[in-house]
Amino acid sequence: MKIAIVCYPTFGGSGVVATELGIALSKRGHEVHFITYKQPVRLDLLNEKIFFHEVNVPEYPLFHFQPYELALSSKLVTIIKAYHIDVLHVHYAIPHAYAGYMAKKMLQQEGITIPMVTTLHGTDITLVGNHPFYKPAVTFSINKSDVVTSVSQSLKEDTNRLFDIKRKIKVIPNFIDLSTVKDTFTDCQRGLMAHEDERIVTHISNMREVKCIPDVIKTFYHIQKEIPSKLIMVGEGPERAPAEALAEELGIASKVIFLGNSNEIDKVLCFSDLFLLPSKAESFGLAALEAMSHGVPVISSNAGGLSEVNTHGVSGFLSEVGAVEEMAKNALVILKSDAELAQFKKQARTQAQHFAIENIVPMYEEVYEKAIRKN
C-alpha cells in the first residue's frame, strides 16, 4: 500500500507513535509518505520506502495567524496525486482531520477518492478539542473520517461522552518495538548521574500542566527522605521553571537533574530504577510504556488509559491524581530492596510485551485494507 501519514513532528507521543508506525509499515513493504511541517524527531531514516514532504507556510504580514490547514490540505492534494496514495492516515484530530477532509473534497472534484483514517491521541479530545472554540469543527471532521481509531478504551469512552460521534471508534493501542530496546549500553552513563548506592527516579514529558509536574517533585521529595536517590527530569515545557523553583524551595535542587529534550531517552531509561507519571489526564501514557519496555517500573496516576498500560502491583502502582504521599509509599515498596526492584523490573518488561509492535501494526494494516476496499 501507499500510505500518507500526517502528524506533529515534535517530541509529543502522537508524533512518536505516527513515526514509529510509518517506519514499521515501511519495513513491511509499504510505501510511506510523512507530510508535516518538519522532519519528525524520530524519523532518522529516509529511503526508497520512506518519504518526507514538508508543509511550508510562508509568512505573510497580513495574517496574524498563518493558515497551516490550508497549506497542509494543498500539500496533501499534491502528494496524493503525485504518488498515487491509497490511504491517508491522520494522527491527532486538530487540525489534521479537518485538513484531510478538505483535501478529500478537493480530490473528489478531480474524480479521485481516498479513504481517511483518523487516530485520536488524547489532548485532541480531552483538552483542546473539547473547547467550544474547536468542538464543532472537531466533531465534524471526526464524523467525516472513513475510519476512527483511538489509542485506548478510555479515550474511546471520553470521545463518545464529550462529542456527538456517529462513527464506531476502533481501539488500537499504542505499541513498542522491543527489538530496538537495548538491555545494556556500553556507554550507559549511570555513574555520571548518581552514586553507586543511589536509586534513579525518572520523569519524561513535555512538562505541561496536564503532567502534574509539581507532583513529580513532591513525590520524589518524600522518596529521597527515605532512601539515597536522584530524580532525572527529561523534556521541556512551561512547567520546567516552576519545577526547578519548587526543587530549590524544598531543598532538593542538588538531587534533581533537568536534562531538557533528548533524542536518547533509551540511554536515560537504561539506568533508571523507577518512572513517575502522575498526570491528571493521559489517554495512554506512551512514556510509561517506553519505561516499562526498558524494565523500569512505573508509579502513575490512574487517569484515563493509564490503567490499561500500567498494572497495579505488577508493572508498578497506580494512585488517584494528586495522591503524592501514596505514590511515594508505593515507590518505596519497589525501591527498598534489590530483590523487590529486580522483580518489578522483570514484571514491567513482561507487561510491555503485551504492546509489542508486531501485534499492533497488523491491526492498522487491516484497517487500511478494509477502508481501501470500501472506498
Residues forming contacts to ligand GMT in the complex (CB under 6 A) are 12-15, 17, 92, 121-123, 151, 174, 206, 208, 210, 281-286, 304
Between 37 and 83, whose beta carbon lies closer to ligand GMT? 37
Between 41 and 250, whose beta carbon lies closer to ligand GMT? 41
Task: State the nearest-atom distance from the C-beta of 108 to ligand GMT, in Å.
Answer: 29
305 touches 283 (CB < 8 A): yes
Between 107 and 288, whose beta carbon lies closer to ligand GMT? 288
Q: Quote the CA–CA distance of 147 and 111 in Å, as a whole number.
A: 21
Task: State the nearest-atom distance from the C-beta of 45 to ligand GMT, in Å.
Answer: 21
Task: State the nearest-atom distance from the C-beta of 156 to ligand GMT, in Å.
Answer: 13
Q: Where are the beta strands (DSSP E) in 140-207?
A: 147-150, 169-171, 199-204
Task: State the nearest-atom distance from the C-beta of 11 to ligand GMT, in Å.
Answer: 8
Between 123 and 330, whose beta carbon lies closer to ligand GMT? 123
Between 223 and 305, whose beta carbon lies closer to ligand GMT? 305
Collapsing DSSP states into helix, strand and coil, what is residue 148?
strand
Task: State the nearest-atom distance from the C-beta of 369 to ligand GMT, in Å.
Answer: 23
Between 278 and 304, whose beta carbon lies closer to ligand GMT? 304
Task: State the nearest-atom distance from the C-beta of 290 to ligand GMT, in Å.
Answer: 10
Q: Where are the beta strands (DSSP E) in the chain?
A: 2-6, 31-36, 50-54, 87-91, 116-120, 147-150, 169-171, 199-204, 229-234, 256-260, 274-277, 298-301, 316-319
Task: State the nearest-atom distance from the C-beta of 310 to ligand GMT, in Å.
Answer: 12
Between 114 and 352, whose beta carbon lies closer to ligand GMT? 352
Shortest CA distance to 90 belongs to which of 23, 4, 160?
Answer: 4
Task: State the nearest-atom distance from the C-beta of 51 to ligand GMT, in Å.
Answer: 22
Helix/strand/coil percentages in the chain, nearest 5: 45, 20, 35
Q: Which DSSP symbol is given to 171?
A: E
Angle, CA of 280, 282 and 283, to the nearest 5°: 145
Shortest CA distance to 34 belongs to which of 63, 11, 13, 55?
Answer: 55
Q: What's the start-to-end Cα distance of the chain, in Å?
A: 14
Between 206 and 219, whose beta carbon lies closer to ligand GMT? 206
Helix (H) or strand (E) holding 128: none
Residue nearest to ligand GMT (CB): 122
Task: State the nearest-atom distance from the C-beta of 237 to ligand GMT, in Å.
Answer: 9
What is the DSSP annotation of 305-355? THHHHSPBTTTEEEE-TT-HHHHHHHHHHHHS-HHHHHHHHHHHHHHHGGG
- Residue 133 CB-density burial (10 A; 0-12 exposed, 13-18 middle, 19+ buried): exposed
348 touches 277 (CB < 8 A): no
Between 283 and 319, whose beta carbon lies closer to ligand GMT? 283
